[in-house]
Structure formats: structure tokens, C-alpha cells
Chain A
Amino acid sequence: MENQKGLVEIVAEKVWKFFSSVKLAVVLLIILAIVSIIGTVVQQGQPTEQYLKEYSLATVNVLETLGLFDMYHTPWFVLLLFFLTANLAVCTLERFPKTLQIVKAPLKPLEDEMLKALPFKKEITFKGGMDKAEARASKVLKSRRYRFLVSGGPGVQHLYTQKGLYSRFGVYITHLSIILIFAGAIIGSFFGFKAFLNLPEGEVSKVVYLRNEPLWDKIMASLGVGDSRVVMDPQGGVPSMPLGFFVRCDNFDVDYYSGAAGPTGMPSEYHSTLSVFDLQGRPILQKRIRVNDPLTFHGITFYQSSYGPLPGVRGKIILNIRPKSAPSSGETVVIDPGTEKFVSSINRTIRPVGIAPFAFRDPSTGEVMFRHTENNEMINPAVELEVYKGTKMLYKTTVLKVDQGQPVMPEDYVITYGGYWGARYTGLQVAKDPGVWVVYIGFILLCVGPVIAFFGSHKKLWVRIQDKKGHALITVAGSSNRNRLGFEREFSKIAEELAK
């Protein structure tokens, strides 16, 4: 047993030594830089059919075995990242105590044997007494914002100081930040998930469809310890994740950039109004989300991501009707295309004959022109209307969402386009990531750490003044752990000023 314990210790020591080497860090960085290139050349996460189009079956098999189609999540790549993190952690644990010692160690006055080890030193004969020399030295140090200690004895006076002590921690802050980011990413993949939800206008869902299952659920379920919250689809479709609440798409809309002739086909913004209900159906909150401005509830965030038409579904046409005399008051009517509706406030029956997705009105002729759109995208819809008094048709007109001209409105009311509702879905990305805050703290530290490490330096400076037959012999010495050339310049200037 004694022997075996020794072996474990030896192995542990070897592993520790392996991970504490900075050579390993450089080697790992080189390997990571090189292998990362592969995943940018081979397209990631495509369906197998796509790969078979690009490569031969044999090549696909080889790439698949190596995991190159989802390279950044393969065990060997994650292991490389883990090695780098372990390397950082061990290096930090190994070196931090020494740094702490340096930081805590009290600064001592200059002694002759220290001089040998110091990279910068100079002796100056100062014409004047020791008092004058000390006054000069104290002035020079003060002018450079050094706060110094003074000690002395008969015939000798010491001024000594250090600056930028805490810049020694910059490197540890940087390394810690990377460890935090890695930890946060692991927390996210264990307890978070990525999902999507295509939600038609007016519809409700209490599940989202998973892209990434939480690893924790997967492991617990496979160990038989607990049930996964994930609901598998019996038809072999996409597994889903219950939200624990309902989400409803109340409304979806797209804004387009406008050109000289009305809206261009280029979306400027799209937004969904989402409502959240608890499982008893009580409304909890409502938010209008847009790209870059998501909704978060119970740690689950809904991002506006895409949209599309619902094939074969007819929406409802919304029209606003108001008297010409009172532009602010009016009535909103919802009608199915092709059906009639009696509007009591104007005593007329309205029948929208149909809706076109993209139309313009020529402002000079008043003529409406129609354009083709991909997927029937509702860029600037036009509704053709028939207006009846009883069963007698009075007139036909066309209302547009954005109208460059004037629609025919012979009577004392105006009908305007209000919307087309229920024939589109909003595409939502859904994510839960409890590790993101750890990652963000890592991000902040990673912004701060290198700045402290690179732009600060731990500088030490000693001035010793010795009496030499009425004159003063000034010995000035210093060291800097970083930016030696910069310190060298500063040092020679200080020496120059002392000699004046």
C-alpha cells in the first residue's frame, strides 16, 4: 500500500508539473489555432445529404468519425479547451503565492549587495551637502508622483519607493477571466438549452423545440437518477421542452425602408407582441419584442429571429373607418376576405374582394400597380373593397398600407388599411443560459486584466545619499518588471535631474 501511494503521488506531481508549464500553454495555443481552422473550412452542422453533395461517401465517413462536421463540440476539441483552462488554473495556483509574497514584502532601503542584482544603477557626485542632495531627491521623486519612504543613519540617507505594485495582478485577472468564461460555458451547456418556436399570430404554446438538450437532464435520465424534462416526439420529430407557462403571439409586423415610391422590400425592423400567461391562463406580462430586444421570463429568453407566411391560411383584414369631419374618432372592423360586413356607424356594407401583398399607387393617375413578392411577403398590402348600400353596390375602391396618392372615397367617411392578421408566424429563438452571468463577469475581467497587465508595471526606485567629505554621493538604482525600455528612459532622466 505504501508503495502504491507513492506512485499516486508521483503521478499527481507529474501531472501538476505538466500543467504548470507555460511551454504547454504555448503548445496548446498553437494546436488550438491550427485545428480551429479546420472547422472554418468544413461547413459545420449541415444535414448529411448536404455533405454527400460536396464529398464522396468515403470522405463523409472519415470526416464524420473524426467529428469534423460538429468539430467544436467533439470531445477532443472540448478536451483541448479543458487542457488550456487546467493549464491556466495550475499556472495561476503555482505562481500566485509567489506574486503575493512579492507584493506583501516590505520595501527595504538600498544595500550594497542588492546593487548587483539591480538592472539600473548610477552613482552621482552631488556638489553640495547631504541636506541639499536629499531636498533635490525628494523634489525629483515628488515631481514624478512617487510616494517614498525615508530612513537614515549617520552619514547616510535613504529614499526608496515603488509604484504599480498591483499591475502584477493583471495577468491573474486575465487568466481567471478565461477560467470563468469556460466555467460559464459549461454551466450553460449543463443547465441551459437552445430552442426555437415558430408561433402563428393569435396562437399559444407551452413548449419550445430543442436544438440543444440540457446535458444535466440527459445525464440524469441516462443514469436513471431523474426524469428529463425533455418531451420526445413519438413520431421521431424534434424533442420539445415545456416552458412552465404559456406564450402567445398577439401580433407580428414588419416595417420596411421607404424609397421614393413607397416601401422598398427591405425590412428595417420586425417585431412581435408576445404575451405570457401562467398555466392557469392568467395574464402575466406583455412585451413587444424586436431584433436585438428580446423578452425574458423565468430565465427563458425569446429572441425575434425570423418570420414567414402560413401556407393555406387566410388571415383577417382589419380596416379603420372614420368620418371625414373627425379624423380622430372611428371604428375598427375585422373582416374575412371575400365576405360582407355591415358597418353600423356609416350604415354601409363592406366587402373586401381580396388582398394583394405588394402594391403602389401612381400619384398622378391614381392607378394601382401590383408587384410580385417572394413567399407572398406583405410589403405594402392593398385591399380591394366594394361598398354597398343594402344590396346595391355604390362604388369600388382600393386602400393601401402606404399610399402615395388618394383612394376613391366619395362619401363622408374614410376607410383606411389597418392590417392583415393571422396568416403569418413569428420565428423565435428561445434560450435559457444560467451560465451567461459567469461568462459576462469573465468578459468584464478579460477587458480589465490585460490593460492592467500591459499598461502598468511594478517599478522600484532607490536613492541613497552618502556623505563624502562635504559633498554627497548619490547612488540611484531601480528595477521594473515590465516595459524595461520605458523605465530605462525614465531612470536616466531621474539620474539627470538628480545630477543637476
Chain B
Amino acid sequence: MESSLSAVSLAKFTDTLFAVATLSYLIAMVLYISYLAFRKKKAIGVAASTVTYIGILLQTTAILLRWKVSYMMDIGRVPLSNLYESLVFFTWSTVLIYLIVEYKYKTRAFGAFVMPVAFLALAFINVAGINADITPLVPALKSNWLFYHVLVSFLGYAAFAVAFAISMIFLIIDTEDRGPLTNFYSAAGVLVILVPLGYYLAGLGEKVKVAYWMGLGVLILAWFIYLIVGGAKNKSQVYLFWSLCVTLAAGLLLFMGVDYLIFQSLHSGESFKQQIFKSTFINSSAPVVVICWLAVLAMFGFVWSQGLRLKVALKQYIPSLDELDNVTYRMIAIGWPLLTAGIISGAVWANSAWGTYWSWDPKETWSLITWFVYAIYLHARYVRGWKGSQMAVISAAGFLAVIFTYLGVNLVLSGLHSYGGMQ
């Protein structure tokens, strides 16, 4: 009894550490952004780095303590075993890789892009109501491979996340002007048509809804291919692409937060699971839904209209486009072998557990798709001599595949990895 009591108090302490670490990342994010805004105030930059170092130190301690707590609870498992822990580890590796880049390339300019990813991922854990309990492992997961598999996979994901952030910087720096306003209106117009259409079709039944999503997927894919194969020459299209990516990355998490707060204020105490976006985008009241989508449009408009200011703020810290391209490449050259090792360790593990090293389940297949996309990146770079904005678009496409492999498959598709779901 005594040991379980101290396990409880240690677990509470661990939670506090996690909370303080999250707070540090929030402060670091604000500091890095102010560092960009107040042009080269060195003190702000040093403060930003210091807070980040403190944050990662606290988070490392918390992860190690969580490991210890699991042993005190007689469960004894690596703290990399469910969605909560993998998200925590993902942020940890992203911050770690960012700090290495900051140290190696002696620039703090990327912090304003990377730290929001880290902070928002941690915020997502709280917002989405993901179960943080240390639960026992099912027998299939009790293997030393679990540790290596998750470790290398997430280090790889983190490298891709940093590559994505730098690609976004590349695209905005590469933009000369944002193109005519009609461009924005037509993009907004497409949204205005597609979104109500989606709601209308979703009302017609599950099959129509699936067909709609698949159609949307094909459209997005076609756009990707158009941008990449067309050499990303249509700069105002690329700028639209950039605006949508930034809106999506920042907006998704922002809206989840708003959604969570509204939900809590209306139904305090109830479980948030399976309720996501019910207070906003899939609310039963039509005006609420319309207001939410108008907010998304407004955000898209804001990003689109302010992007060039960001460029001006960023430009003085960025050594050169070549350097950005090079750092993206280095990150993918680190991430791809890690992803490869992650897939391989998963395959070897599956073979020792089930006698099949590859069974084409959705998680495996999506990790392979991600692998293909980054393989395209690496080959296109060497052989076709593609450079610059095309490569940045491929890198963004790769990160989209990473996000889907990591979250989408668990939340949307079913398969062997379904233990990693929200519940």
C-alpha cells in the first residue's frame, strides 16, 4: 500500500512537471516569435533558447519519472506505449532536433516555426482529452521491439516536422508577391462551394460522405501533383498552398482548443471523447457552424494577406534560400533513415509476434506511403535536379502523410495499431 501511495504522489509530481514543461514551450514560442518581431534583440533570443532548454530538461525528467512510476505500479513499461505518450515523445524529439539545428546552424529564426508545433502538439493532448493514465500493456506489445520501434519512428517524425517548418519558411521567402486578389477570392470561393456541399452530402448518409471525402482527397492529390510536376512555377498558386498549410497547421489546433473550451463550459464534467468539433464544426445549430467556417475563412484571409510581412520579418535572419533548401534536405536525410529503421523494426517485431513481417494493414501501408514520398524527394533532388519550391512542396506533402500515418490512421482507419486510438 505504501509503495502505491508514493506512486500516486510521484505521478502527480510528474504531471506537474509536464505542465510546467508545456508552459515553458508556450513561453519559448512567444519569445521566439518576439525575437523575429523585434529584429535581432539578442537578449530575447538567448531567453528563448534558455526557456526551451529548461522545458526540454523538465520534460525529459518527467518522461523518465513516468517510466519509474509504471514500475512502482507493477506495470513496468516504456513510456512510449500509447497515443498520449507518443505525442509527448514526439514533441520532445521535435524540440531536441530543433535545438540541435539551432546549435549547429547558429540561427534562432526557425524557433518561431518549430516551437508552435511542439507547444500545440502538447496542447492537443489536453484539448482532445487523450487518456493519460498509465495503463497496462496487452501481451502483443510486451516486447523490447516496442521501445526501438517507437523511438526511431518518432525521432524520424520529429525530423520531418522540422523539415516541414523550414519548407514553410522557404516557400514564404521564395514568394515575391502574393498574386492578384482574385486568386484569394477564387480559393475562398472553392471553400465556400466545397464546405456546404460536404455538409449537404454528409447528411445523405455514410456512403455519400465517404465518397465525398475520397473525392476531396483526389482533388488535393491532383493539386499536389500539379504544383510539383508543374515545377511550382505558378508562384501565386504556391503562395495559396502556403497560406492553406499555415492556416491548417495553426488553425486546426486553435479550433480544437476553442472547441474544447466551449464544450467544457456547456457540459462541464462530461467526457470530451468522441465529442470533438461537436461544439463547433458539427454543431446541430446552423448559425454556429457558419460562424466557425467564417472564422476559418477569416484566418485564411489573414494568413494570405499578412504572409509577406512575415517574409520581411524573417528575411534578415535567413542566410540564403540555398541554405534553407540544404537544411530541409539534411533533416529529411536524417528522418528518412530513421523512418526506414522504424518500419524495419516494426516488421521484425511483427514477424516475431505473428510470423508475418508485412501484412499491409493501414498503418504499415501509410508508413510505406510516407516512405515513398520522401524517397521521391530524395531522388528528385539528386537526379532531376529539382530544387527550391518544388522540393518544399514535396516536403510538405510528406509531412501531411506523416500526420496521417500517425493520427489519421488511428482515428479514421482500422488496423493492428488501433490500440493507439483516443480511448
Q: Name A residues whose Cβ lies closer than 8 Å to a Cβ of B.
A: 22-23, 25-26, 29-30, 32-34, 36-37, 39-41, 43-44, 54-55, 72, 185, 194, 257-258, 266-270, 290-294, 301, 303, 305, 429-431, 433, 436, 439-440, 443, 446-447, 450-451, 454-455, 483, 485
> Besides the contacts A267-B138, A483-B330, what 16 more A-B pairs have beta carbons closer than 8 Å?
A25-B379, A29-B379, A33-B372, A36-B369, A41-B413, A266-B138, A292-B139, A429-B354, A436-B351, A436-B357, A440-B348, A446-B340, A447-B337, A447-B341, A450-B333, A485-B326
Complex CA–CA separation, A104 to B354 (angstroms): 46
Contact B337 A454 (CB under 8 A): yes
Contact A26 B139 (CB under 8 A): no
Kindly report which residue of chain B lies nearest to residue A454, judged by CB atoms.
Answer: B333
One digit per residue, 1 when the CB lies within 8 angstroms of any chain A CB and 0 when it does not, for chain B 350-379 equals 011111111010100110110011011001
* Contact A33 to B369, CB < 8 A, known contacts A269-B139, A454-B333, A485-B326: yes
Kindly report which residue of chain A lies nearest to residue B145, judged by CB atoms.
Answer: A292
Residues of A within 8 A of B176 (CB): none
Contact B355 A44 (CB under 8 A): no
In the assembled complex, the CB of B326 is this many whole angstroms from the nearest CB of chain A, namely: 5
A-B contact pairs, 13 of them (CB 8 A): A26-B380, A29-B372, A32-B372, A36-B369, A40-B366, A72-B360, A266-B136, A292-B353, A429-B355, A430-B355, A443-B347, A450-B340, A485-B323
Contact A26 B351 (CB under 8 A): no
Complex CA–CA separation, A185 to B360 (angstroms): 13
Residues of B within 8 A of A267 (CB): 138-139
Complex CA–CA separation, A39 to B372 (angstroms): 16
Which 3 pairs between the two chains have the least Cβ-Cβ distance? A431-B355, A33-B372, A22-B383
In the assembled complex, the CB of A353 is this many whole angstroms from the nearest CB of chain B, namely: 33
Is B219 positioned at the interface, with any CB of A under 8 Å from its CB?
A: no
Contact B344 A446 (CB under 8 A): yes
Complex CA–CA separation, A258 to B214 (angstroms): 45
Interface of B is mostly: helix
Complex CA–CA separation, A370 to B340 (angstroms): 50
Residues of A within 8 A of B401 (CB): 33
Contact A485 B322 (CB under 8 A): yes
* Contact A44 to B214, CB < 8 A, known contacts A303-B355, A436-B351, A450-B340: no
Kindly report which residue of chain B lies nearest to residue A451, judged by CB atoms.
Answer: B337
Contact B139 A29 (CB under 8 A): no
* Contact A34 to B221, CB < 8 A, known contacts A26-B379, A40-B366, A485-B326: yes
* Contact A33 to B373, CB < 8 A, known contacts A40-B413, A194-B356, A485-B326: yes
Contact B336 A450 (CB under 8 A): yes
Contact A301 B355 (CB under 8 A): yes
Is B409 positioned at the interface, with any CB of A under 8 Å from its CB?
A: yes
Complex CA–CA separation, A43 to B323 (angstroms): 44
Contact B355 A29 (CB under 8 A): no
Kindly report which residue of chain B lies nearest to residue A212, judged by CB atoms.
Answer: B356
Complex CA–CA separation, A252 to B277 (angstroms): 46
In the assembled complex, the CB of B352 is this many whole angstroms from the nearest CB of chain A, namely: 6
From the candidates B143, B348, B379, name the one contacting A22 in the complex (CB within 8 A): B379
* Contact A257 to B365, CB < 8 A, known contacts A194-B355, A429-B354, A446-B340: no
* Contact A294 to B352, CB < 8 A, known contacts A30-B376, A447-B341, A450-B336: yes
* Contact A36 to B353, CB < 8 A, known contacts A23-B384, A267-B138, A446-B340: no
Complex CA–CA separation, A440 to B347 (angstroms): 10
Kindly report which residue of chain B lies nearest to residue A195, judged by CB atoms.
Answer: B355
In the assembled complex, the CB of B415 is this many whole angstroms from the nearest CB of chain A, namely: 8
Is B216 positioned at the interface, with any CB of A under 8 Å from its CB?
A: no
Residues of B within 8 A of A185 (CB): 358
* Contact A40 to B352, CB < 8 A, known contacts A22-B384, A290-B139, A485-B326: no
Complex CA–CA separation, A431 to B356 (angstroms): 8
Residues of A within 8 A of B382 (CB): 22
Give the number of residue pairs across the A-B interface with Cβ within 8 Å: 121
Kindly report which residue of chain B lies nearest to residue A70, judged by CB atoms.
Answer: B360
In the assembled complex, the CB of B100 is this many whole angstroms from the nearest CB of chain A, namely: 14
Residues of B within 8 A of A485 (CB): 322-323, 326
Complex CA–CA separation, A33 to B322 (angstroms): 28
Complex CA–CA separation, A433 to B354 (angstroms): 12
Which range holds the interface residue count of chain B? 35 or more
Contact A26 B383 (CB under 8 A): yes
Residues of B within 8 A of A258 (CB): 74
Residues of B within 8 A of A450 (CB): 333, 336-337, 340
In the assembled complex, the CB of A433 is this many whole angstroms from the nearest CB of chain B, namely: 7
Kindly report which residue of chain B lies nearest to residue A293, judged by CB atoms.
Answer: B352
Is B190 positioned at the interface, with any CB of A under 8 Å from its CB?
A: no
Is B142 positioned at the interface, with any CB of A under 8 Å from its CB?
A: yes
In the assembled complex, the CB of A61 is this many whole angstroms from the nearest CB of chain B, namely: 16
Kindly report which residue of chain A lies nearest to residue B333, judged by CB atoms.
Answer: A454
Contact B140 A291 (CB under 8 A): yes
Which of the listed residues A29, A54, A429, A447 has the most CB atoms from chain B within 10 Å of its own CB?
A: A29
Which of the listed residues B337, B351, B352 has the most CB atoms from chain A within 10 Å of its own CB?
A: B337
Contact B360 A26 (CB under 8 A): no
In the assembled complex, the CB of B383 is this many whole angstroms from the nearest CB of chain A, namely: 4
Is B258 positioned at the interface, with any CB of A under 8 Å from its CB?
A: no
Complex CA–CA separation, A446 to B338 (angstroms): 11
Is B75 positioned at the interface, with any CB of A under 8 Å from its CB?
A: yes
Q: Which of B154-179 contact A (CB under 8 A)?
A: none
Contact B384 A439 (CB under 8 A): no
Kindly report which residue of chain B lies nearest to residue A56, judged by CB atoms.
Answer: B207
In the assembled complex, the CB of A85 is this many whole angstroms from the nearest CB of chain B, namely: 14
Residues of B within 8 A of A430 (CB): 355
Q: Which of B403-419 contact A (CB under 8 A)?
A: 409, 413-414
In the assembled complex, the CB of A260 is this many whole angstroms from the nearest CB of chain B, namely: 9
Residues of B within 8 A of A40 (CB): 362, 365-366, 409, 413
One digit per residue, 1 when the CB lies within 8 angstroms of any chain A CB and 0 when it does not, for chain B 266-298 equals 000000000000000000000000000000000
Kindly report which residue of chain A lies nearest to residue B330, judged by CB atoms.
Answer: A483
* Contact A37 to B340, CB < 8 A, known contacts A23-B384, A291-B353, A431-B356: no
* Contact A292 to B356, CB < 8 A, known contacts A36-B369, A268-B136, A451-B337: no
From the candidates B142, B323, B375, name the one contacting A29 in the complex (CB within 8 A): B375
Q: Which of B236-287 contact A (CB under 8 A)?
A: none
Residues of A within 8 A of B143 (CB): 292
In the assembled complex, the CB of A367 is this many whole angstroms from the nearest CB of chain B, namely: 22
In the assembled complex, the CB of B403 is this many whole angstroms from the nearest CB of chain A, namely: 14
From the candidates B136, B214, B354, B375, name the one contacting A257 in the complex (CB within 8 A): B136
Kindly report which residue of chain A lies nearest to residue B206, judged by CB atoms.
Answer: A54
Which of the listed residues A430, A447, A483 has the most CB atoms from chain B within 10 Å of its own CB?
A: A447
Kindly report which residue of chain A lies nearest to residue B137, judged by CB atoms.
Answer: A268
From the candidates B75, B353, B372, name the one contacting A303 in the complex (CB within 8 A): B353
Residues of B within 8 A of A303 (CB): 353-355
Kindly report which residue of chain A lies nearest to residue B229, judged by CB atoms.
Answer: A30
Kindly report which residue of chain A lies nearest to residue B214, judged by CB atoms.
Answer: A41
Contact B140 A292 (CB under 8 A): yes
Contact A292 B384 (CB under 8 A): no
Residues of A within 8 A of B366 (CB): 40
Complex CA–CA separation, A55 to B207 (angstroms): 8
Contact A269 B369 (CB under 8 A): no
Contact B139 A268 (CB under 8 A): yes
Which of the listed residues B139, B347, B382 has the most CB atoms from chain A within 10 Å of its own CB?
A: B139
In the assembled complex, the CB of A214 is this many whole angstroms from the nearest CB of chain B, namely: 14
Kindly report which residue of chain A lies nearest to residue B142, judged by CB atoms.
Answer: A292
Contact A269 B142 (CB under 8 A): yes
Residues of A within 8 A of B217 (CB): 37
Complex CA–CA separation, A485 to B322 (angstroms): 8
Complex CA–CA separation, A451 to B335 (angstroms): 11
Complex CA–CA separation, A32 to B365 (angstroms): 11
Complex CA–CA separation, A34 to B375 (angstroms): 14
Residues of A within 8 A of B75 (CB): 257
From the candidates B139, B344, B349, B357, name the one contacting A447 in the complex (CB within 8 A): B344
Q: Which of B307-356 contact A (CB under 8 A)?
A: 322-323, 326, 330, 333-334, 336-337, 340-341, 344, 347-349, 351-356
Complex CA–CA separation, A429 to B75 (angstroms): 27
Residues of B within 8 A of A30 (CB): 225, 372, 376
